[in-house]
């Protein structure tokens, strides 16, 4: 179940990123990030109410609130904010290439903090998948400034590396919060609460909310893209990521959920009519081989 959830999580994130790109062009990355977080939290609160009778798991132990709270702040608030900054400084392709190495860092932290170990063949599968994803990302279109200035390039790389560190730490904290079969829906809801608090606080303090919502009101078509993307990514993608974390090791879950660039290839071909290079296809085959090894090794 964990491996299947990880694959579907990557697919959902690939679909949502395509939709978010349309909204980001109109509203900006910061506004889209805040809206997707509040929509995701609203949906999870509804589901948590239906399943457990309350919008938030008020009876959860304090330690779980701590784990999920820190995970939301580090991963969704700080990590995503830094990654969006890296997109603008060095371009999406270079930033995503750094992100592709997140499974390796997550596996290292899982070994040091949680004591998780992986079979040699599983490690080989992870490395194959990371290599394939890296090749695919290198073949993608560059978006953003591209880091033409040395200082800008260094700042962008630093932002992306710190973002990957935040993602890895957030993953470990989420894994700790999900111990003893704790509800994945409740866990994501708790994580979303703290991520929203951190993301929305600067806007509320500076009183820029009315200006932001006015932009959404002026472009309902782009807002629909953001709404659908929020249902697919921050709702479906994050929940499936938690299912993967709870049912398999951190290294495997992180590797499979990082395969979103692989799914972006057919989406780019079908939606944007982009031609696929032989290197992108080769990278996809390598990543698929790595995923196959992960599934087959027990």
Higher-pLDDT residue of 290, 297: 290
Looking at the chain, the whole-number percentage of residues with pLDDT higher than 70 is 92
Write the CA distances from 225 to 39, 57, 228, 266, integer angstroms: 13, 30, 5, 19
pLDDT class for 298, splitting at 50, 70, 90? low
pLDDT at 62: 94
CA distance readout (Å), 254 to 23, 34, 97, 273: 27, 24, 15, 30
Cβ burial of 253 (10 Å; 0-12, 13-18, 19+) is buried
d(CA 176, CA 75): 14
pLDDT tens digits, 229-244: 888 888 888 899 999 9
Q: Which residue has the higher pLDDT, 251 or 268?
A: 251
CA 19 from centre of chain = 14
Of residues 167, 203, 162, the one with CA closest to residue 38: 203
Exposed / middle / buried, residue 170 (Cβ in 10 Å: 0-12, 13-18, 19+): buried
- 261 vs 105, which has greater pLDDT? 105
| For the chain, domain boundaries | 2-296
Average pLDDT over residues 158-178: 92
- pLDDT over 90, % of the chain: 27
Distance CA 237, CA 224 (A): 18
What is the per-residue pLDDT for 143? Answer: 45
**Residue corresponding to tokens 């997109």:** 87
Q: How far apart, in whole angstroms, are the C-alpha atoms of residue 38 and residue 7?
A: 25
CA angle 48, 52, 55 (to 5 degrees): 40
Mean residue pLDDT of the chain comes to: 83
For residue 281, what pLDDT is reported? 80
Q: Which residues contact 180 (CB under 8 A, 6 or more apart)?
A: none
């Amino acid at each position: 179940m964990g491996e299947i959830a990880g694959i579907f999580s990557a697919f959902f994130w690939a679909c949502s990123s395509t939709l978010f790109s349309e909204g980001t062009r109109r509203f900006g990355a910061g506004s889209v990030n805040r809206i997707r977080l509040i929509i995701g939290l609203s949906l999870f609160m509804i589901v948590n109410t239906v399943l457990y009778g309350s919008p938030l798991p008020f009876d959860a132990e304090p330690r779980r609130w701590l784990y999920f709270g820190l995970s939301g702040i580090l991963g969704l608030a700080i990590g995503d904010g830094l990654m969006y900054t890296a997109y603008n400084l060095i371009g999406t392709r270079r930033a995503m290439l750094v992100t592709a190495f997140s499974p390796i860092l997550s596996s290292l932290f899982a070994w040091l903090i949680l004591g998780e170990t992986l079979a040699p063949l599983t490690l080989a599968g992870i490395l194959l998948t990371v290599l394939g994803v890296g090749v695919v990302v290198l073949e993608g279109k560059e978006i953003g400034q591209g880091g033409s200035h040395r200082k800008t390039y260094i700042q962008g790389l630093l932002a992306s590396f710190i973002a990957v560190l935040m993602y890895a730490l957030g993953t470990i904290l989420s894994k700790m919060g999900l111990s003893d079969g704790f509800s994945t829906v409740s866990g994501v809801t708790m994580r979303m609460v703290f991520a929203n608090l951190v993301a929305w606080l600067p806007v509320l303090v500076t009183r820029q909310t009315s200006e932001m919502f006015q932009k959404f009101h002026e472009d309902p078509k782009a807002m629909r893209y953001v709404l659908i993307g929020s249902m697919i990514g921050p709702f479906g993608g994050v929940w499936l990521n938690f299912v993967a974390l709870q049912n398999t090791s951190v290294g495997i879950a992180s590797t499979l959920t990082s395969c979103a660039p692989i799914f972006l290839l057919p989406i780019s071909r079908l939606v944007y009519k982009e031609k696929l290079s032989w290197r992108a296809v080769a990278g996809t085959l390598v990543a698929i081989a790595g995923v196959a090894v992960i599934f087959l090794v027990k």
